[in-house]
Structure 1
Amino acid sequence: MTGIETSIEPKKLPVMLSIRGEQYFDDVDPDGTELLTAGTMELLEDGRILLEYQETELTGMEGTTTTFEVNGSRVTLTRTGKVNSQMVFEEGRQHTSLYETPFGDLTVDIQTSHLRHNLSERGGVMDIKYSIAVEHTTTGRNCFKIRVKRKN
């Protein structure tokens, strides 16, 4: 092999993540949570963006790493560690995945009704609205908004 390799390694940029989630159940006011946490954003050569942060005691998932993989109009949420799960969000489509808990595995159906983001190397906002069904029984509607701000 001759020549000089010009491959540039993607780098993880330090960011602050503001994650606001709301859960809606029939005839009940929404249950909202907000988390402000440090994380990283990685811009990959193929256009994908990875957002990653460590869950805390506040979320009840301490010891778990959460990653959002943004790939155009599809977002995959992966949790690894104490909790292992994967949820795929794609507007107008339903995706089924397995959610591993210490008490056993559950089938989770995600039906995404709204997905928008304007993420770039400067940060941005991602907004997702979806309904969730556990073991094919609808348990409610959820939404979350993630604000990403680059750290200086």
Structure 2
Amino acid sequence: MKNVMLKIKGTQNPVGNNEDVIELITEGKYYDKDNARYLVYEESELSGMEGCTTTLKITDDKVELKRFGRATSKLVFEKGKRHVSNYSTPYGNFRMEILTKKLDLEMDEKEKRKISLEYRISLQGLSEGTNKLDIEIM
């Protein structure tokens, strides 16, 4: 396991609302295990998920994002595939549906590695939109 710096940019484009962009740089951990790469980092107040730990499991054609803490969720990103999961918050549990439009991974062993996702999200009919997530491992 090695310490890394992560540059994270999240863009939310909810239907009927203005685009919201969050950018942050944070410390994280990176390691390889069982033919997958893992990133682990603590969420901050800026992301709105303070008190949560996020783990990304990265394989050749899939990214799984798990959050633990005051909100828990598991998101699966596979290009062209729809995945349904539960999103647990202090305010209740919600059904979340993800349809991944784009999944680009540059995960060779060079200095910089990148993950780029674009996906449609529906939160139990309460909210819908297109989101982007870009992570650069520095």
C-alpha contact 1:109 1:136 (8 A) present in aligned 2: no
1:54 corresponds to which letter in structure 2?
E
Whether the 8 Å contact between 2:15 and 2:128 is mirrored in structure 1 is no
TM-align CA RMSD: 1.5
Amino acid at match of 2:44: T
Q: Secondary structure at the match of 2:49?
A: coil
Give TM-score, length-normalised by structure 2. 0.92
Shift of 1:25: 2.9
Aligned partner of 1:67 among 47, 52, 55? 55
Q: Distance in 2 between matches of 1:95 and 1:29?
A: 25
Match of 1:42 among 25, 31, 42: 31
Partner Cα distance (2:130, 2:10) in 1: 11
Between the aligned partners of 2:15 and 2:45, the Cα distance in structure 1 is 28
Alignment partner, residue 85 of structure 2 = 97
Give me the TM-score of the superposition, normalised by structure 1. Answer: 0.84
1:118 equivalent in structure 2:
106
State the Cα distance separating 1:106 from its structure 2 match.
0.3
Q: 1:3-62 CA deviation, whole Å, 9 max, x = no partner?
A: xxxxxxxxx111100000111134654211101100011112x32000010011222222
Which residues of structure 2 form unaligned runs of 5+? none
Give ranges in structure 1 of 5+ residues lacking alignment. 1-11
* Counterparts of residues 1-152 of structure 1 (less than 5 Å): 12-26=1-15, 28-44=17-33, 46-121=34-109, 122-136=111-125, 139-149=128-138
**Higher radius of gyration, 1 or 2:** 1
Task: Give percent identity, aligned residues only.
Answer: 35
Deviation (angstroms), 1:136: 4.6
Change (3 A) 1:27 1:84: closer
Specify the SS of the correspondent of 2:46. helix
Deviates more, 1:17-26 or 1:85-94: 17-26
8 Å CA contact retained: 2:66, 2:74: yes
Aligned length: 137
Q: Is the 8 A contact 2:14 2:127 kept in 1?
A: no
Shift of 1:72: 1.4
